[in-house]
Structure 1
Amino acid sequence: GQLQILMIPQMAVDYPGTTAYDFNEVLHKSILFYEAQRSGALPQNNRIPWRGDSGLKDGCDQSKDLSGGYYDAGDNVKFGFPMAFTATTLAWGMIEFKDAYLASGELNRALDMLKWATDYFVKAHTAPNEFYAQVGDPAADHAKWERPEDAINTVRRSYKIDQNNAGTEVAAETAAALAAASIVFRSSNPNYADLLVTHARQLFNFANTYRKNYHLSVPGVATYYKSWNGYNDELLWGAVWLYKATNEQTFMDYVVGNYDSFGAGNLAPEFSWDNKYAGVQVLMAQLTGNNKYQDDMNQFVQNAMTGIPKTSDGLTWKIQWGPNRYAGIQPNYAFIATVAGKVDPQSRAQYVTYAKNQIYYMLGTNTRGQKYVIGMGTNSPQRPHHRASSCPAWTSTPVTKCDFSAMNLQGPNPHVLYGALVGGPDISGAYTDDRSDYISNEVATDYNAGFQSAVAGKISETG
């Protein structure tokens, strides 16, 4: 309980973080977290013994095969918008820091991790102007506490966008994900890379031609992943990734022509599933060398370092969930700073140090010695708000029922959700490892995307 955590003695901590962490292990375990989030028929090399096949009937309500993809967080919904952002961010980290994945021996697993998402997006893109943006009714899902496997043969609701009910944000973000992934697969699987580019082009064209906020076309998603800042950022993001993937000038012209009028010249408050402007700034600075974009990029990182509130021991702390679904942990700032350091050599040392300190904080270099990544030893979270890992193993015979009694279970989750980053502390730095406190203890695929990519950057930096 809370009292126990508050009584942990203050640890002597070296700032700005000189503790030796095994970042190869951190990268390895983050990939394991994605494997624990898989939906669909699991591969023979599945490494998560307490997970099994699930969601095999997804898409059956529309006579489509929409099995596969990732469950979003501690729930069992496949939300396409944050899933696509997750894939884009993971792919970006693999492009920038491929050497880290090679050095850690994790490249093949990372390719599998990314392909699990992109295979699903290709399936979900059922016609040039038709895309299945979500599977599972979020309200119905959140009213239950069950393993994904418990609903293996349940036909869940599928939500599509098309030209009559468009969804610009999710179509453009998926275009970005597929374009970014095509770069990752270009050398090892060129035919697959071509396929991804074909789908990315069509999805971008769909997004750009039929402009509409996706939450107006996907019932119920606004409660969870409403697009608060509109779709202009995703249109720029999709176009800049298509330029990076194809080198076709029309995509660059689109970004240059719309950059200011679409709002990319302004200071972005964050880089997140909802807001891609900072990513556009970094990529444009990298691709063009133009001072305008570099200035915008630097303004974003400088604001992250000095303008965003911090806990007393140094964690960049944006917002307590609120409308944008955030907790204290902000790994995406660290990732953007890491890439920005490559783009601007003059600021490199400063940016890399900032990113390192954020990562170290998440791994336990803070005044409480509290780790926010599961399965990393003493003081790691043990009670994440996560259905599958909180339930008895589905493989037991007879299968033990899983319901809200599992959420209310005293003690650690029966299964260790290795590598997952939890929501994190409040603004004072206080944290309670409590499954029912979903603000501090939910995990999510988008949390880990920026974190994993920043960790890859750390490995790349140190060689």
Structure 2
Amino acid sequence: MNVTRPVYKINTTHPGSDLAGETAAALAIASIIFETEDLDYSDILLKHAEELFDFAYNCRGNYSESVPKAAKYYKSWSGYTDELVWSAVWLYTATYNDSYLQKAELLYENLKKNVSEFSWDEKTIGATVVLAQTTGKEVYVNKSIEFCNHMVYNQERTQGGLIWIQAWGSLSYAINIGEYFVCHYKLDSRINAQDYVKFAASQINYALGDGGQSYVVGFGENPPVRPHHAAASCPDLTEKCDWDDFNNDGPNPSILWGALVGGPDKDDKFLDDRSDFKSNEVSINYNAAFQSTLAALNSYKN
């Protein structure tokens, strides 16, 4: 790429509690994973997670206000409190330091809202279930069950069976919910585990093409061949790549094996068009939950 690629940062005068909190949570989770494999590396991850959380907690603000150009693509619509709770409860899980749990619970009291998604921007329900698992308190358990039951039994679906949250990257939102269910179906005895796992599997199967249209590149029936992805749209590196390649009606020269695209519209309609980044884009946040849900379902099966 020969276009300008500027680098931006957050700091004490240009805060980003959502961005720093999200990163702190990721590092805390990774420290737990590596604790039994590489303790030194786990300690490094945890050290930086705690530093980032302190920055996020003490210097508050939305990153997309500090970096206005980011708002064009990934604006922090939900604010930063959900990421602070999310990071605090994961740091408690990694350290068992009560101060993190206290912060998480106090911050949670400010999340007085009903949410209909679990996503890159909205962590409230994720934080709720981790608090439920960590504390066992009815307030968190009940809210988690209420959310899950609404999604399984009452949330709108397309005629083909896709749970409908929103049009932009429709599959990612549905599979995020599926991941949430299949990972936490043991939360409480009141949960109908079979219904929850069945729901998660239905969303995965929809993506894999049970309805005659696969949304996974290189897999299943009629998979996307023109996903919105710059590198895959280009010929081999020895050849020129320009807008003619983007506008080419043919399939992408490179196959992004296993990549999930955004998904169909509310009527289960999908156009395999490279220029349609609303439904045919390939992104990290679309694919992370897709892969982890597959792993969770496989674990449940076995």
The two structures have a TM-score, normalised by structure 2, of 0.95
1:335 aligns with 179
Once residues 220 and 156 of structure 2 are traced to their aligned partners in structure 1, the CA distance between those partners, rounded to angstroms, is 29
How far off is 1:327 after superposition? 3.1
Structure 2 counterpart of 1:302, one-letter code: N
1:390 aligns with 2:222: no
Q: Deviations over 1:251-289 (max 9, x none)?
A: 1111122222233xx432100111000111111111122
1:427 aligns with 2:266: yes
Structure 2 counterpart of 1:268, one-letter code: V
User: Secondary structure of 1:316's match?
Assistant: coil
Structure 2 counterpart of 1:391, one-letter code: C
How far off is 1:227 after superposition? 0.5
Which one of the candidate residues 137, 151, 165 is aligned to 1:318? 165
2:278 aligns with 439
2:244 aligns with 405
Q: Deviations over 1:146-185 (max 9, x none)?
A: xxxx44xx77311011101111110111100100111111
Contact kept in structure 1, 2:208 and 2:220, CA below 8 Å:
no
Q: Deviations over 1:356-408 (max 9, x none)?
A: 11111111112xx11111111431111101000110021xxxx2111111111
Which one of the candidate residues 35, 43, 48 is aligned to 1:194? 43
Which one of the candidate residues 155, 158, 172 is aligned to 1:308? 155
1:183 aligns with 2:26: no
When the two structures are aligned, how many residues end up with a matched partner?
Answer: 300
Once residues 170 and 196 of structure 2 are traced to their aligned partners in structure 1, the CA distance between those partners, rounded to angstroms, is 23
Structure 2 counterpart of 1:309, one-letter code: E
Contact kept in structure 2, 1:301 and 1:337, CA below 8 Å:
yes
Once residues 440 and 260 of structure 1 are traced to their aligned partners in structure 2, the CA distance between those partners, rounded to angstroms, is 36
Q: Determine which structure has greater relative contact order: mean sequence separation of CA pairs < 8 Å that are 6+ residues apart, divided by chain length.
A: 1
Which one of the candidate residues 203, 222, 243 is aligned to 2:71? 222
Q: Deviations over 1:97-135 (max 9, x none)?
A: xxxxxxxxxxxxxxxxxxxxxxxxxxxxxxxxxxxxxxx
User: Secondary structure of 1:439's match?
Assistant: coil
Contact kept in structure 1, 2:171 and 2:207, CA below 8 Å:
no
Once residues 120 and 260 of structure 2 are traced to their aligned partners in structure 1, the CA distance between those partners, rounded to angstroms, is 16
1:351 aligns with 196
Contact kept in structure 2, 1:340 and 1:351, CA below 8 Å:
no
Deviates more, 1:371-380 or 1:178-187: 371-380
User: Secondary structure of 2:249's match?
Assistant: coil
Once residues 183 and 135 of structure 2 are traced to their aligned partners in structure 1, the CA distance between those partners, rounded to angstroms, is 15
Contact kept in structure 1, 2:85 and 2:105, CA below 8 Å:
no
1:108 aligns with none
2:22 aligns with 173
After superposition, where does 1:43-54 map in structure 2 within 5 Å? none
Contact kept in structure 1, 2:209 and 2:220, CA below 8 Å:
no
How far off is 1:345 after superposition? 4.1
1:294 aligns with 2:141: yes
Structure 2 counterpart of 1:331, one-letter code: I
User: Secondary structure of 1:436's match?
Assistant: coil
Structure 1 counterpart of 2:263, one-letter code: G
Q: Deviations over 1:74-96 (max 9, x none)?
A: xxxxxxxxxxxxxxxxxxxxxxx
Once residues 114 and 4 of structure 2 are traced to their aligned partners in structure 1, the CA distance between those partners, rounded to angstroms, is 44
Contact kept in structure 2, 1:374 and 1:382, CA below 8 Å:
yes
User: Secondary structure of 2:10's match?
Assistant: strand
After superposition, where does 1:21-170 map in structure 2 within 5 Å? 150-151=1-2, 156-170=5-19
1:459 aligns with 298
User: Secondary structure of 2:68's match?
Assistant: coil
User: Secondary structure of 1:159's match?
Assistant: coil
How far off is 1:328 after superposition? 4.5
1:46 aligns with none
1:365 aligns with 2:210: yes
Q: Determine what percentage of the aligned residue pairs are the same residue.
A: 44
Structure 2 counterpart of 1:180, one-letter code: I
- Describe the shift of the 1:214–1:269 C-alpha distance in structure 2 as closer, same or farther (beyond 3 A): same
1:281 aligns with 128
Once residues 208 and 220 of structure 2 are traced to their aligned partners in structure 1, the CA distance between those partners, rounded to angstroms, is 10
Q: Deviations over 1:170-210 (max 9, x none)?
A: 01111001001111111111111100111110100000101
Once residues 328 and 377 of structure 1 are traced to their aligned partners in structure 2, the CA distance between those partners, rounded to angstroms, is 16
Structure 1 counterpart of 2:259, one-letter code: A
Contact kept in structure 2, 1:312 and 1:429, CA below 8 Å:
yes
Deviates more, 1:172-181 or 1:283-292: 283-292
Q: Unmatched 5+ residue regions in structure 1?
A: 1-149
1:11 aligns with none
Once residues 200 and 62 of structure 2 are traced to their aligned partners in structure 1, the CA distance between those partners, rounded to angstroms, is 33
How far off is 1:240 after superposition? 0.6
Once residues 415 and 249 of structure 1 are traced to their aligned partners in structure 2, the CA distance between those partners, rounded to angstroms, is 50
Q: Deviations over 1:333-373 (max 9, x none)?
A: 1011112212234421111111111111111112xx11111
Once residues 383 and 332 of structure 1 are traced to their aligned partners in structure 2, the CA distance between those partners, rounded to angstroms, is 24
User: Secondary structure of 1:357's match?
Assistant: helix
Contact kept in structure 1, 2:171 and 2:286, CA below 8 Å:
no
